[in-house]
Amino acid sequence: MKHRAQVLVIDDDAVVGRSFDRVLSGKGYDVRTALSGEEGLKDIESHNYDVVFTDIKMPGMDGLEVAERIRARCPWTPVVVITGYGNEENETRAHVLGVSGFVRKPLTPEIIEGVTLKALENPVAPAEAPVEAANEAVPEAAAPEAMGYGKAVRIVARNIGLFIAAPFIALAYIIAMPAVGFWMFAKLGIEAWRNRRASS
């Protein structure tokens, strides 16, 4: 008998869980849902899932912490983070944790099916570095592979440009400050002369 892939969807919005169930059940998946990170982790203790989806913004434990705990407990289980609050910092943390995907709401049936297939077709390797490292901020200059090569090059170029320009900026201030001071002194003198002339 053909194995039916086991899918867990962790999201405090029940509508999201029903959407996954409606799309994937018709494709031969067994779908279970949990309304919180704690509930999902408890379910994982008694079930072996082929892929886990977790929302990032939930009361209590957020999706990245859920992903971290799943990766520590079941490093072979693909975890896909879904969110309506995507940002670069979250995506960087998710990549450091070794999640299999990071998708934004709203989710269409095509996205749900496609990201599920991709997660199942690409086996997850246990993280080489301790999962706890994902809690630390990843310095932009220290982790170009986490942010993308193009962005790393732009950051380095910007820093070099600022380093080269710094002496010229300082020189411009040194030259400009006496001129500005003289102009302010002259302006005050002219105003005082005009006031004296107007009062006489």
**Whole-number pLDDT of residue 196:** 74
pLDDT at 21 over 80: yes
User: What integer is the mean pLDDT of 50-58?
Assistant: 91
State whether 147 and 108 are in the same domain: no
pLDDT at 154 over 50: yes
What single-letter amino acid sits at 140? E
**Whole-number pLDDT of residue 150:** 55
Domain holding 120: CATH number?
A: 3.40.50.2300
Considering the entire predicted model, what is its pTM?
A: 0.59
Using omega within 30 degrees of 0 as the cis cutoff, is the peptide bond preceding 178 cis? Answer: no
State whether 66 and 106 are in the same domain: yes
State whether 156 and 129 are in the same domain: no
State whether 101 and 149 are in the same domain: no
Domain with 146, as residue range(s), is 141-200
State whether 108 and 123 are in the same domain: yes
pLDDT at 37 over 50: yes
Using 50, 70 and 90 to split pLDDT, how confident is the model at 192? confident
pLDDT at 128 over 90: no
Question: Which residues 6+ apart lie within 8 Å of 117 measured at CB?
Answer: none
Residue 131 near residue 169, CB atoms below 8 Å: no
Give the chain's largest Cα–Cα span.
110
> Looking at the domain assignment, is residue 36 inside a domain?
yes
Q: What are phi and psi for residue 55, nearest 5 degrees?
A: -70, 155
State whether 155 and 133 are in the same domain: no
State whether 90 and 102 are in the same domain: yes
> Looking at the domain assignment, is residue 178 inside a domain?
yes
Q: What angle do CA 11, 12, 16 make, to 5 degrees?
A: 55
State whether 90 and 184 are in the same domain: no
pLDDT at 145 over 50: no
DSSP output for 117-151: HHHHHSPPPPPSS-GGGGGS---TTT-HHHH-HHH
Please report, for residues 1, 99, 160, 163, the alpha-carbon distance to residue 80 in angstroms, rounded to integers and kept in the order given: 27, 6, 37, 41
**Whole-number pLDDT of residue 39:** 94
**Whole-number pLDDT of residue 163:** 66
State whether 132 and 145 are in the same domain: no
